[in-house]
Amino acid sequence: MSTPTWLISRRTALKAAGCAIALPLLEAMVAPKLWAGDPKPRGKDPVRMAVLFFANGVPPGTWIPKTKGPLGELPRVLAPLAKLKSEALVISNCWNAASSANGLDGHYAKDGAFLTSTTITKTTGADVNVGGVSMDQLAAQHFAESTKLPSIELATENTRTGVDTNVQLTQLYGGHVSWSSPTTPMAKEIDPRQAFDRLFRDRVAVDKDAKDAAGKPARPLAGDPEDDRSVLDAVRAQATAMKGRLGFADQRKLDEYLTTIRDLEKRIAMEEKLRKAPRKLDPAALRGLPILAEQVKGWNQNDPTRGGHQNHCRLMMDIMAMAFWTDVTRVATFMFGNSVSGRNFSFLPGVSINHHESSHHENNADKLEQYALMSTWHTEQLVYFMERLKAIKEGERTLLDNSMVLFGSGLSDGNAHNPRDLPIILAGRGGGTLLPGRHIACKENTPLASLYVEMLRRMGLPIEQFADSKGPIPELLRA
């Protein structure tokens, strides 16, 4: 079969000044055969919000505490939380109903809509649509003029763009939980070096006395926002010229892409503003930046002593903690893995199968055991992040006191593909607006979106409704 003349290569990029910016996946890049919709914080410090997403759910019977109220003995998968249970809420009976509407099965529909609480459009091509903006991006829009970056999106696995023929869905849905529009996922960063550079390249040597890990004077990282601006000017002109070759759907997606570029220009302007009038940062944070820079520089995914999945995850969480501490951003998402992640967890004793395989346990005792080991490991990483935030002082409080950390998955039991009674933890105190240390058993089938409304209001958004939310969850602030 001959190649259509209108087909654009997936390698097409908008080029300028010796570099290139890749285009989003357009219909014109896909052959036709693939184609088939409050409480206010107390104190002067801002509230931060982090989302830690893990794929594939948890084994049945290993997550929900036996009794509601103060956290006592914890079930197996939550056992690592014991030392910090006074800083967390275990929230049960949340349901993301829309994620399984219209007969949608499998992991992708639940995970892609984890933060949107909407129903995705079933497609095998580029016309992705999750049905709404994710709740983290509503918060990011709220702080767009307050911080260098409205939000950061970190992960450990590249997004896959193929088709999962088992459910006839593009795998793109499973690679993102953060969406700036119903059709535009937020690009995620999986390389700690690039994530660090994007966040801190101009701040390492703000303190003239800052030292690196070797005790030598720290130097600012390379990079000039003027370089970015010159690239964007040229990119816009080329993208506009390309529109004449595209169909209606592609023109719409390209318009969204150009909007993203305009948002990037706003970020550059904010960066320049911060350069001219730098904020007074905690001296301890300034001393910590060059040390973190050295750790990032030494990271090597292929070196067991410097790489590995656990080191990768913890380095990303260190970067998130530093971003909150230095107020580079107040909104962050981190994906431990993509939907249907087949991550190899053989670094854990007793684990020989991958994560996704274990989640389809079919009540096999050996698979359930390995599933539990991997799920418990994820809780250990949450505790690591909580400890990092708790160790950072902000006046009489800690960074954990001034944060909300949502930890959860789009499925309860991966074997059943069930979005009811999701595994959800909300850690931190939200600037004094949360009363942690408890198991909150919500009314049965409480919309997950209701929790998101509560979180967004604590971030300062005057919001009454999000997706299918149905009223407040008053137990968040009272026993």
For residue 296, give every residue at least 6 positions away whose Cβ sits within 8 Å of its Cβ, in sequence order, or none: 192, 193, 196, 315, 319
Query: Following CA atoms 309, 311, 315, 318 in sequence, which dihedral angle do they give, to the nearest 10 degrees?
Result: 120
List helix spans (H) across 16-152: 108-112, 135-142
Would you state the pLDDT for residue 3? 44
Give dist(CA 166, CA 183) in Å, integer: 23
Q: Which helix (H) or strand (E) holds 300?
A: none
Question: What is the distance between the alpha carbons of residues 448 and 468, in angstroms, rounded to a whole number?
Answer: 8
Query: What are the residue boundaries of the structural domains of the chain, listed by start?
Result: 1-35+222-277, 46-206+283-471
Rounded Cα gap, residues 418 and 435, in angstroms: 29
DSSP-derived pairing of the beta strands 331-335 and 152-155: parallel
Cα separation, 309 vs 344, whole angstroms: 9
d(CA 111, CA 146): 29
SS3 63: coil
In whole angstroms, what is the distance from residue 325 CA to residue 392 CA?
A: 8
User: Which of 359, 347, 302 has its CA nearest to residue 54?
Assistant: 359
- Nearest of 131, 95, 167, 175 to residue 419 by alpha carbon: 95
Structure tokens that stand for 368 in this block: 């359930």
DSSP one-letter string for 326-390: TTS-SEEEEESS-TT-----TTSTT--S-HHHHHS-TT-HHHHHHHHHHHHHHHHHHHHHHHHHH
**Tally of helices (H runs) and strands (E runs) in the chain:** 10, 16
C-alpha distances in angstroms, 234 versus 143, 168, 230, 264, 436?
Answer: 28, 38, 7, 14, 50
DSSP, collapsed to helix, strand or coil, labels residue 235 as: helix
Scanning the structure block, which residue is given the tokens 């919709």?
Answer: 37
- Residue 441: strand pairing partners: 92
Cα separation of 216 and 214, whole Å?
A: 6
Give kind and range of the element (H or E) at residue 248. helix 248-276
- Cα 200 to Cα 319: distance, rounded to the nearest angstrom: 9
Which pLDDT belongs to residue 452?
97
Check residue 17 and give its pLDDT. Answer: 45
The whole-angstrom separation of Cα 388 and Cα 307 is: 20
Check residue 112 and give its pLDDT: 92
Q: Would you state the structure tokens that stand for residue 227, as one six-digit string?
A: 């370089």
209 close to 145: Cβ distance less than 8 angstroms: no
Q: Alpha helix (H) ranges present in 178-247? A: 192-200, 225-242
- How far apart, in Å, do the first and last CA atoms of the chain sit? 67
Rounded-to-integer distance, Cα 406 and Cα 88, Å: 10
Please give the pLDDT value at position 230.
52
Along the 479 residues of the chain, how does pLDDT read in single tens digits?
444 444 454 445 555 544 445 454 454 544 443 322 245 555 578 999 999 999 999 999 999 999 999 999 999 999 999 999 999 999 999 999 998 887 777 788 889 999 999 999 999 988 899 999 999 999 999 999 889 899 999 999 999 888 988 889 988 999 999 999 999 999 999 999 999 998 887 654 444 555 555 566 655 444 445 555 555 566 666 777 777 777 776 777 677 667 766 666 666 666 566 556 556 678 888 888 888 988 898 887 776 666 689 999 999 999 999 999 999 999 999 999 998 888 899 999 999 998 988 888 888 999 999 999 999 999 999 999 999 999 999 989 999 999 999 999 999 887 887 878 999 999 999 999 999 999 999 999 999 999 999 999 999 999 999 999 998 898 887 64
Check if CATH label 3.30.300 holds for domain 46-206+283-471.
Answer: no
CA–CA distance, 93 with 470 (Å, rounded to integer): 14
Q: How far apart are CA 64 and CA 75, in angstroms?
A: 7
